[in-house]
Amino acid sequence: KECEKENVPVPDGLNFADNADSVALIDGKGGILDLLDETMGMPGASNQSFVTYVIKQYKEHHRIIASKIARLGFGVAHYAGNVMYSCEGWLEKNANNPPDAA
């Protein structure tokens, strides 16, 4: 519909999957990014505790994949396939601390 509005040609038979539930899982209220923020405030928080929290909170969600190989990761079944995320360093990156030179 957006393409039609913008006069962008779309080949016949091209269908787009609705990925709203994937977006909500990651960025929605109570989603993975919210869980990352929550984990930051927990005593003794670690990247591993974040991954454990995500898997525990979403173990029944049809798009979450618990990694059997990577301890510090999980997967999300996106419309185009499964994407595995390594969460090594996520808490540190999410801390938003300015660099030492700042």
Between CA 45 and CA 41 the distance in angstroms is: 7
CATH of 17-94, one of 1.20.58.530, 1.25.40.10, 1.10.1760.20, 1.10.599.10: 1.20.58.530
The domain spans of the chain are: 17-94
At 71 the pLDDT is: 84
Tell me, what's the pLDDT at 3?
A: 75
Q: Average pLDDT by consecutive 10-residue portion of the chain (102 residues)?
A: 79 78 94 96 95 95 89 90 94 82 65
Determine whether 80 is exposed, middle or buried from the number of CB atoms within 10 Å of its CB (0-12, 13-18, 19+). exposed
Residues 6+ apart with CB under 8 A from 36: 50, 90, 91, 94
